[in-house]
Amino acid sequence: MTVNAMTDTLNRQVLIDGATRLYAIIGDPIAQVKSPGVFNPRFAAAGLNTVKIPVHVRPERFEETVRGLMAIGNLDGMMVTVPYKARVIPLLDRVLPMAAKVGAVNAIRREPDGSWTGDMFDGRGLVRGLHERDIRLDGRRIMLIGAGGGGSAVAIAVADAGAAALTIFDVDPAKAEALAARAAKAYPACAVRAGAPAIDGHDMLINATPIGMAPGDGFPAPLDGLTADMLVVDIIMKPEVTPLLAHARSLGCVAFGGRVMLEGQAEEVARFFGIGGKP
For residue 130, CA distances in Å to 33, 138, 219, 256 come to: 20, 12, 22, 9
Instruction: Over range 44-59, report the average pLDDT.
Output: 94
**pLDDT tens sequence across 63-97:** 999 999 999 999 999 999 989 998 999 999 999 98
Q: What CA–CA distance (Å, rounded) separates 181 from 64?
A: 33
10: how many CB neighbours lie within 10 A of its CB? 12
Just list the catalytic residues: 85
Q: Is the pTM of this model over 0.85?
A: no
Confidence band (pLDDT; 50, 70, 90) for 279?
Answer: very low
pLDDT in tens, 186-219: 999 999 999 999 999 999 999 999 999 999 999 9
Quick one: pLDDT band at residue 49, thresholds 50, 70, 90?
A: very high
Instruction: Report pLDDT digits (tens) over 242-253.
Output: 999 999 999 999
| Banded model confidence at residue 15, pLDDT cuts 50, 70, 90 | confident
pLDDT of residue 275: 87
Angstrom distance (rounded) from CA 200 to CA 204: 10
What integer pLDDT is reported at residue 249 of this predicted model? 98
CA 183 vs CA 44, 81, 162: distances in Å: 39, 22, 12
Residue 274 to residues 46, 81, 277, Cα–Cα distance (Å): 11, 20, 10
pLDDT number for residue 267: 84
pLDDT at 12: 54
Q: Which residue has the higher pLDDT, 162 or 14?
A: 162
Crossing angle of helices 122-131/259-273, nearest 10°? 120
Q: Which residues pair with 54 in a beta bridge?
A: 25
Q: Where in the chain is the domain with CATH 3.40.50.720?
A: 123-261
CA 19 to chain centre: 30
Fold of 123-261: Rossmann fold (3.40.50)
> Cα–Cα distance between 268 and 275 in angstroms, integer?
10
Give per-residue pLDDT as tens, 265-276.
988 899 899 986
Mean pLDDT of 25-34: 94
In this model, does residue 3 exceed pLDDT 60? no
Is residue 244 a contact partner of residue 207, using CB atoms and an 8 Å limit? yes
Q: Is 220 left (phi over 0), alpha (psi -120 to 50) or beta?
A: alpha
Provide CATH 3.40.50.10860 ranges for the chain: 3-121+265-273
Give dist(CA 144, CA 271) in Å, integer: 28
CATH code of domain 3-121+265-273: 3.40.50.10860
Quick one: pLDDT at residue 10?
54
- Residues with Cβ within 8 Å of 195's Cβ and at least 6 positions away in sequence, in order, are 167, 168, 169, 176
